[in-house]
Amino acid sequence: ENFEYMFSLPDTMRVLWNTLKIAVLKIAINFPIPIIIAILLNEVKSRKFKKSVQTIIYLPYFISWVILSGMILDIFSLDGVVNQILGNFGVNPIFFMGDKKPFLGLLIGTDVWKNFGYGTVVYFAAITSMDTSMLEAAQIDGANGFQKIRYIILPTLKPTMVVLFLFAIGGILKGNFGLFYNLVGNNSVLFSTTDIIETYVYRSMMNSFNFAQSSAVGLFQSVVGFFIVLGANAFVKHLDPDYALF
């Protein structure tokens, strides 16, 4: 009955579509960025610069969504820093918190900004742990920087890339409640494009206190994520069995 109720809600399909759309966009943006930055950091010779950059990009990962969302709301408000800078160039203020299109980009960008530092550190650790003799041999053979990245570094990162990708798509139906709740709040103007399963269920359950229905939604998300991981792992195993998780 709880599952029937969940799928009978008038906004179920819209909420599912928003959850999938936002999750896919976040994966598409947040998956390659840490790889690119980790490779660029590996090419830098200064050790102090590497450590400084890693610290700066990793810092947002430790900031709570409450504080980070407050910072974003202040920076991108009508009288915030961004609109003040745009005003100096004669650009009219942009209502980021009330316009669906710019707010969706702001929402995804905030999530990417907070989390890409973690992925960068993971990939950079994988690069630094690789056998440097392969890079030295390639350099002796006349390989340039791009060739070393393409034929040595990227193949070395494949296992890490597969694991992180499977983790990402496994939670494709589990949106980031902290981000959406603190950044969107009760702004009903944005619900049509930013309302995800967690926020929709939260508002519904706050009125009825029906924990059985919310548990059904959580089970649905977990089961779907489990089968998505199985399917993605089977696809990876078909391409190259060495990189599959199981």
Helix axes 65-75, 81-88, angle to 10 degrees: 20
Q: What is the mean pLDDT of the chain?
A: 87
| Confidence check: pLDDT of 182 > 80 | yes
Helix axes 197-208, 211-239, angle to 10 degrees: 160
| Confidence check: pLDDT of 36 > 90 | yes
Predicted local confidence at residue 201, as pLDDT:
78
What is the pTM for the complete model shown? 0.85
Encoded tokens for 181: 């709740």
Identify the residue whose tokens are 């990227």.
154
Integer angstrom CA distances of residue 142 from 32, 137, 139, 154, 236: 27, 9, 5, 18, 32
Q: Do residues 237 and 244 make contact, with C-beta atoms less than 8 angstroms apart?
A: yes
pLDDT tens-digit map of 205-234:
776 677 787 788 888 888 888 898 888 888
Reduce the secondary structure of the chain to three states and give it as a string. CHHHHHHHCCCHHHHHHHHHHHHHHHHHHHCHHHHHHHHHHHHCCCHHHHHHHHHHHHHHHHCCHHHHHHHHHHHCCCCCHHHHHHHHCCCCCCCCCCCHHHHHHHHHHHHHHHHHHHHHHHHHHHHHCCCHHHHHHHHHCCCCHHHHHHHHHHHHHHHHHHHHHHHHHHCCCCCCHHHHHHHCCCCHHHHHHHCCHHHHHHHHHHHHCCHHHHHHHHHHHHHHHHHHHHHHHHHHHHHCHHHCCC
Q: What percent of the chain has pLDDT over 70?
A: 99
Band (pLDDT 50/70/90 cuts) for residue 114 is very high
pLDDT tens-digit map of 126-172:
998 888 888 889 888 888 889 999 999 999 998 899 888 888 888 88
